[in-house]
């Protein structure tokens, strides 16, 4: 069984062999599907796409503005927001520009994910490499140890991610039913610089802002639906309590269990989906 889980983890790209201080304010309400914009009423503000606004709110250390279809970075460089290309589902994952990251809705309603709704699996690689590091050694320079229920896990201090993970731990430890939550908490990995298996894109674990927990009580779409392709219809499974998910979300983490291609052990620091 252990062998099976290990092999399956390798397959899903989740294993690692091996906010509040600075992070943005995230929306603690259950509905993040709102497309409400800040600064409504001024034509200039209304020209900013909602996704760009979210990125600016989530990553103020790196993104300072939006002009002429580009994200303006704090180092003075610019990044095209929307390359204008029509993309297939797979291309939205493999060749994402910043705009593609918002092609899917992150639905916090605790219903089963809808067909192909994978908000967060799409990552604009140049943007993430710019923020977290362009290589394993660059990412490592930002990793710090965070206490995690008797373990120490490596997490990046970039964008306040490590502080946010600390806040998650404190929040979980304060729950009245902490004894019941314990079975979900054992870490099976945070940082691991690697490509997603079978794809040419970098795994979220490469950036040090992602943690896998509770592998023994977790579900992954390919375990339940072996042989299925990305665009096939699949059966959903989850054993994680939503209250645990809500705690992570309060601190800027999205949950892989909200993806159509679910990965319920996977929590990833992506505040752009959780800012109001």
**How far apart are CB 221 and Zn ion at their closest, in Å?**
13
CB-nearer residue toward Zn ion: 53 or 270: 270
**How far apart are CB 252 and Zn ion at their closest, in Å?**
16
**CB burial of residue 64 (10 Å; 0-12, 13-18, 19+):** middle
**How far apart are CB 263 and Zn ion at their closest, in Å?**
6
- 232's CB contacts (< 8 A; 6+ apart) are 225
CB-nearer residue toward Zn ion: 99 or 164: 164
- Contact present, 208 and 195 (Cβ < 8 Å): no
CB-nearer residue toward Zn ion: 57 or 254: 254
**List of residues contacting Zn ion (CB under 5 A):** 14, 212, 266
**How far apart are CB 13 and Zn ion at their closest, in Å?**
7
CB-nearer residue toward Zn ion: 53 or 261: 261
Q: In what order do the strands lie in the sheet containing 70-73? A: 63-67, 70-73, 78-80
CB-nearer residue toward Zn ion: 54 or 261: 261
Sign of CA dihedral 144, 149, 150, 151: negative
**How far apart are CB 212 and Zn ion at their closest, in Å?**
4
- 55's CB contacts (< 8 A; 6+ apart) are 63, 71, 98, 127, 272
CB-nearer residue toward Zn ion: 14 or 127: 14
**How far apart are CB 240 and Zn ion at their closest, in Å?**
13
Q: Which residues pair with 212 in a beta bridge?
A: 189, 266
For 226-230, which contacts have Cβ atoms below 8 Å and span 24 or more sequence positions? 230/89, 230/90, 230/93, 230/261
- Contact present, 151 and 171 (Cβ < 8 Å): no
Query: Which of 258, 254, 255 lies closest to 271, judged by CA?
Result: 254
């Amino acid at each position: 069984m252990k062998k099976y889980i290990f092999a399956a983890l390798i397959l899903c790209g989740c294993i690692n062999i091996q906010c509040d201080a600075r992070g943005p304010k995230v929306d603690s309400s259950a509905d993040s599907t709102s497309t409400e914009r800040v600064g409504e009423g001024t034509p200039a503000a209304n020209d900013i796409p909602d996704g760009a606004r979210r990125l600016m709110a989530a990553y103020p250390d790196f993104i300072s503005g939006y002009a002429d279809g580009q994200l303006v970075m704090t180092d003075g460089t610019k990044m095209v927001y929307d390359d204008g290309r029509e993309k297939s589902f797979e291309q939205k994952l493999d060749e994402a520009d910043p705009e593609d990251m918002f092609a899917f809705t992150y639905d916090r309603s605790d219903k089963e994910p809808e067909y192909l709704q994978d908000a967060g699996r799409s990552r604009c690689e140049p943007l993430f490499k710019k923020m977290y590091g362009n290589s394993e050694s660059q990412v490592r320079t930002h990793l710090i140890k965070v206490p995690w229920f008797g373990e120490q896990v490596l997490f990046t201090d970039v964008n306040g991610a490590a502080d946010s993970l600390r806040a998650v731990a404190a929040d979980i430890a304060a729950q009245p039913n902490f004894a019941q939550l314990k079975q979900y908490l054992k870490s099976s990995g945070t940082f691991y610089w690697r490509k997603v298996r079978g794809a040419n894109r970098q795994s979220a674990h490469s950036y040090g802002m992602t943690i896998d927990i509770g592998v023994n009580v977790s579900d992954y779409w390919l375990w339940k639906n072996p042989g299925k392709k990305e665009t096939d219809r699949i059966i959903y499974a989850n054993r994680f309590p939503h209250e645990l998910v809500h705690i992570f979300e309060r601190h800027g983490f999205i949950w892989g269990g909200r993806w159509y291609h679910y990965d319920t052990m996977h929590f990833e620091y992506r505040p752009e989906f959780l800012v109001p």
